[in-house]
Amino acid sequence: MEVKYKKNGGSLYLYVYGELDEYNASKVKQYLDNVISDNYNSSKVIFDLSGLSFMDSTGIGLLIGRYKKLRSLNIPSYISGASVSAEKVIELAGLYSIMPKY
């Protein structure tokens, strides 16, 4: 499991690699919260899931939690590059209704 970020203009890109499941969620959550706090002046945040090989409901919960944190800062959030299997989980959870595809 690996998470990286890149700031491009006013946009913050968060790249998630590996498996986003219960085992990895707490480490990922802490890292993402720190990056978001350090970049609170971003105009938008894009979660790039193209490197994600697996995601379960814990991953959905983690993304919803980051969405709520970003919404409280008035920063829109988006999802990009989800694999076919991750996209199925995202669609079933209705996550695209609050975090649109980018």
Instruction: Please report how many Cα atoms fall inside a 13 Å half-sphere around the Cα of residue 85, on the Cβ side.
Output: 10
pTM for the model stands at: 0.94
Average pLDDT over residues 24-38: 95
Q: Summarize pLDDT for 70-90 with one digit per residue, the tens.
A: 999 999 999 999 999 899 999
CATH class of 2-97: alpha beta
Which of 16, 2, 17 is CA-nearest to residue 66? Answer: 16
Q: Domain residues of the chain, as ranges?
A: 2-97
Neighbours of 26 (CB within 10 A): 11
Q: What is the DSSP letter of 63?
A: H
- pLDDT, residue 53, reads 93
